[in-house]
């Protein structure tokens, strides 16, 4: 018999950013500390508590719940029976977050998962177009945070969402048309999870996810998805210092029918090819690719796909700066990167750190060491919220390059400040 819904417990889950599954896991971890072993709490039990089917859980659940949420049973919305033994109230001198500190990444992940609507995607029965639309909505929701937080905060969230969708696809029924739509949506999510993994420095995970996205793109016949994955694979190859391979992959993406019909994608591909040509010392091809990127961008209309929403004039200018820097044209790189930073919208926090580092490096390469140190300090300050191993690695390289100039007082001060901060 279902009782009255436990809205207090439901509100606490929302307050602490727990999904049903995550609360169950937290209860099991707390039980191990209390009893020396797990109590096999599941998300199903959490749902029963919230639905009011269980008005007073067993003590083996109540005690860990108190430890996790920092509330008495009644404050959690449970109703004692006459024979119920009320456990001792928790120590209110420490909050639940203090007792079980949740890292920033885990807290963000917990909060995000709760907003993605995964519980509304069926795990059985028949899937329809409305279910595909729910899956499609996951990626734009994630990218709202990617620009500010970086992939380190989102990789686990996207991977969990992908597993949920894959389970639905494997256990539900649907028609041929919906099947193609499902694989396209699932591939979009896999490609996004791959990008977050790439940004987080988890390249093995990124490769596996890109492969899943490519397979989904072929099964759905989604050429745009395939071109997107090829573009990301080219970026990954470049990150791993496989520049020739990156150029070959990028060229394959440029030549696809989908890229030729989508000006947004074509502009991005040509920008990335420009950086690739510059890194191999081919100035002529780099300049040609930059010109083609500008031409393509002039043809863009409407709004880009969610994953392309970072492609603004600031981004194109910043990538042009990266190309000139790779060619050794440091003065031009400095000018372009400074311009990119001026144009960059506040929501692009990660890219602001990225281009601030690029700006500092261009200044350093040009010999303006004091100004470079000042910009490096600005990048350290801005980097506090961003969880991007890619950006942190770039920042680490800059710090290493500045160490060659430790006799310059501004550099010495910068390095001492970063040492004290543990940056």
Contact 277, 285 (CB under 8 A): yes
Which phi and psi angles does 173 have, rounded to 5°? -110, 155
Residue 126: phi and psi, rounded to 5, are -110, 135
DSSP annotation of 126 reads B
- Give the model's pLDDT for residue 285: 97
| pLDDT value, residue 100 | 38
Question: 3-class SS at 173?
Answer: strand
Backbone φ and ψ of 367, nearest 5°: 105, 0
Q: For the whole model, what pTM was predicted?
A: 0.71
Closest CA to 306 of 194, 144, 134: 144
Q: Report the chain's mean pLDDT, rounded to a whole number.
A: 86
Backbone angles phi, psi at 231, to 5 degrees: -60, -45
Q: What local confidence, expressed as pLDDT, does residue 337 receive?
A: 97
Q: Which of 144, 81, 61 is nearest to 108 (CA)?
A: 144
Residue 91's pLDDT is 42
Measure the CA–CA gap between 354 and 333, rounded to whole angstroms. Answer: 14
- Give pLDDT < 50 ranges for the chain: 1, 84, 88-104
Strands (E), 228-349: none
Give the containing element (helix H, strand E) for 206: helix 203-220
């Amino acid at each position: 018999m279902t009782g009255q819904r436990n809205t207090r417990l439901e509100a606490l889950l929302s307050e602490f950013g727990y999904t049903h599954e995550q609360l169950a896991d937290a209860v099991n971890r707390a039980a191990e500390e209390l009893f020396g072993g797990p109590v096999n709490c599941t998300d199903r039990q959490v749902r029963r508590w919230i639905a009011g089917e269980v008005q007073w859980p067993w003590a083996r659940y109540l005690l860990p719940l108190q430890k996790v949420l920092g509330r008495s049973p009644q404050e959690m919305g449970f109703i004692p029976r006459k024979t119920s033994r009320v456990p001792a109230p928790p120590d209110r001198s420490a909050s639940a977050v203090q007792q079980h500190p949740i890292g920033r990444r885990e807290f963000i992940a917990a909060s995000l998962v709760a907003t993605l609507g995964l519980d509304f995607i069926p795990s059985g029965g028949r899937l329809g177009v409305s279910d595909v639309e729910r899956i499609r909505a996951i990626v734009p929701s994630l990218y709202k945070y990617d620009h500010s937080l970086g992939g380190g905060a989102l990789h686990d969230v996207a991977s969990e969402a992908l597993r949920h969708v894959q389970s639905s696809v494997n256990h539900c029924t649907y028609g041929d048309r919906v099947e193609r739509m499902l694989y396209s949506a699932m591939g979009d999510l896999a490609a996004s999870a791959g990008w977050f993994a790439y940004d987080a420095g988890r390249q093995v995970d990124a490769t596996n996810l890109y492969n899943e996205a490519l397979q989904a793109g072929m099964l759905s016949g989604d050429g745009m998805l395939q071109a997107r994955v090829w573009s990301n694979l080219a970026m990954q190859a470049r990150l791993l210092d496989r520049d020739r391979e990156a150029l070959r992959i990028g060229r394959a993406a440029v030549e696809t029918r989908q890229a030729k019909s989508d000006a947004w994608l074509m502009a991005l591909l040509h920008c990335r090819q420009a950086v690739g040509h510059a890194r191999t010392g081919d100035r002529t091809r780099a300049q040609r690719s930059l010109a083609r990127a500008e031409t393509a961008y002039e043809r863009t209309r409407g709004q880009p796909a969610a994953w392309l929403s970072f492609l603004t004039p600031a981004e194109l200018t910043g990538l042009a700066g990266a190309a000139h820097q790779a060619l050794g044209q440091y003065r031009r790189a400095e000018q372009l990167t400074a311009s990119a930073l001026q144009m960059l919208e506040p929501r692009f926090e990660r890219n602001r750190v990225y281009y601030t580092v690029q700006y500092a490096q261009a200044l350093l390469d040009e010999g303006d060491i004091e100004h470079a140190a000042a910009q490096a300090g600005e990048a350290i300050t801005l980097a506090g919220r961003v969880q991007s191993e890619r950006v942190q690695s770039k920042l680490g390289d800059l710090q290493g390059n500045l160490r060659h100039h430790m006799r310059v007082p501004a550099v010495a001060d910068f390095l001492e400040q970063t040492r004290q901060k543990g940056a």
